[in-house]
Structure 1
Amino acid sequence: MIYQEVLLVAKVLCVDDEKNVRNLMRKVLEDEGYEVVAVSSGEEAQELLNRERFNILTLDLKLPGISGIDLLKKLQEEGMEVPAIVISAIATPEAIVEAMKNGAVDFLSKPFSPEELLEKIKGVLEMEKMTFSKMERIAKSLMEKGKYDESEKIVRKMFSLVPSSPIPHYLYSLILSSRGNKDLALKHLKAALTLDGNYYPAREELKKYEEKN
């Protein structure tokens, strides 16, 4: 199961050209324990997304310069897998369909209440949790069948999805061990335990390693 902490420490990028909306989202989300970065343009958002990892993106459609839809298209073209919630006063069926077609996972119309914003954010993060858990199961299943290369592709996606989880480090250590790369496998086991010293699978694997060496 994915870590519950992801809901508490999730990093949110809010993109809106209205200062009062940015301030509202920052206050509401920070009061709930989220880490928030708020910017006013698609260009700023794209630059940040190229440098940093975010768990979720909230995005207005009408922005100065690059529009919200164009930013979604660019993220898809560049393979950036960050779940996006479009938050806009343009809430026509056509606008919603276009946003979803270009990669948005949800839509919230303006004006919105703090409760509505939190419900959308938590809903998307819960969806990401289920995705992560499914990826973990598939990666383990592939390893059991000896398909380590295929498993590695999934584990790499897990790293970007939840950087704060020890699970990808643990799984990657198993993949590396299967290839005889014991030193790097050990580093990933230790990385998993740095993130959570009580993560049982990594502790047991490290114990086996120490007994053999």
Structure 2
Amino acid sequence: MAASRRGGEKATSDAGVLVIGLGRFGAAIALTLDRLGQDVLAVEKNPTLVAHFSDRLPIVEADATNPDALEQLGVRDFSVAVVGVGTALESSVLVTGNLVDVGTPQIWAKAISAEHGRILQRIGAHHVVFPEFDAGSRVAHLVSGKLMDYIEVEDGFTIVKMRPPRETQGFTIAQSRVREKYGVTIIGVKSPGMDFVYADPETRISANDLIIVSGHSELLERFAARP
């Protein structure tokens, strides 16, 4: 059982991840990192949330808007910090600024609006995340067509999971000429009862397969719209 650590005790983490704020976003990150075996320390000022997570995470009750509190926690020992504080814009900016001031190598910060995100970037956050916007965009792509999963990586480059269009069924990837005709690349195929396999030109696609396809989002949408 993970023990909670109260505000005055210094963390002993070495190049771990500091997660500040245990709302839904921060809690999901901290719990997942802990489950993956990563060194993680959660910081939360709400004593009710501290009590709730104290048997699930290494956690400290402290106010991260106070730079002295972060110093007492050993913030300089952490290579990555995640600012899960989002709805309180002032607190989000203060916490992020404190991390910038101590030179945290990687700062991931949650933003709830484009303006909020710009402020975080200007004060030095290395990565700004818009979880609600990103989730909404992803779901919109899923409910509007044949896509079963959708991950936009960067600058429009996207990876999707989908059912194969009829024109690809029964043919190898080389025969269907998907890349030539649609500008997208089939990178993996899963047949029923089988694991996903990396696709090559001789991989044959059947009607019951799932395919993993990469490319620009607009080109993928056109390919997914094929009957």
Query: Per the shorter chain, which TM-score range?
Result: 0.3 to 0.5
- TM-score normalised to structure 1 length: 0.39
TM-score (norm: length of structure 2)? 0.37
The structure carrying a bigger helix percent of its residues is 1
